[in-house]
Amino acid sequence: MRTSSKILVVDDDELMRSMLVEMLRTEGFEDIYELGSGEKVLDTVKQHEIDLVLLDISMPGKDGLTLTRELRATYEEIGIILVTGKGDDIDKIVGIEVGADDYLVKPVKLRELQARVKNLVQRVRREKNKAETIPQEKDADEKRIGKWCFKPAKQLLVDESGNSQELTHGEQSILKLLTNRPGNVYSRDQLLQAVTERDWSPYDRTIDVLIGRLRKKIELDPKRPAHLITVRGVGYKCIS
């Protein structure tokens, strides 16, 4: 496979960085850039019009989470994959919340890296093509949830008094799917696919944590939710 997509690999470990670059080259990616720290990431992305960034989560100075926030705030359609040496779900959840599209746990397996990168590159291309051919989304897709108006394009919840709450990347992705068909039950696997395009496992608490945080923002009583409902043994549904 040959592709014109531009990828930036950021890792302070030179050996790990070289290994990731070599893995990508075996898949046919040719336009690959490397950085050993996070200080010049934003400049490099802007200068070379990077499509996808592989970020080590625990670099000194600007770490992967900080860079993810900055990148997502500036480049809505860029692909971001966090590479972490930790298997802790909290790291994964925080990464998804601040705007990462996916994550890989070291030691990185060749096939998993290739699959994640290929899937995300295709998704980034679709989003960029959509942005170029479709007028900028306004508030046509806004949905009512209790006292809140959900504005997907702005990642906001706004009430009638004008009070607003910002949503993270993960929260927005889940809520957009749930409100697409109110009352429809979505499995954890479907919800995780909407956030990361990754299959859910029984040990993955990402969706449950994100739903819990959404309830705190939306529900009058998060312990007795009226809008984001658990369907035991299946998943979740939204009642407007």
Residue 240 to residue 231: CA distance in whole angstroms: 16
Mean pLDDT of the residues in the chain? 86
- For 175, the 3-state DSSP assignment is helix
Parallel/antiparallel/unpaired status of strands 3-10 and 29-35: parallel
Parallel/antiparallel/unpaired status of strands 186-187 and 79-84: unpaired
Quick: pLDDT tens for 138-163. 455 889 999 999 998 888 999 989 99
Nearest to 177 by CA among 143, 146, 221: 143
Q: Is the pLDDT of residue 200 over 60?
A: no
Other CB atoms within 10 Å distance of the CB of residue 34: 16
Quick: pLDDT tens for 94-149. 887 788 888 888 888 888 888 889 888 887 877 777 656 555 544 558 899 999 99
Q: Count how many residues are written for the chain.
A: 240
The whole model's pTM is what? 0.71
For the segment 68-93, the average pLDDT, to the nearest whole number, is 82
- Whose tokens are 């040496």? That residue is 85
Domains and CATH numbers, the chain: 3-133 (3.40.50.2300), 143-238 (1.10.10.10)
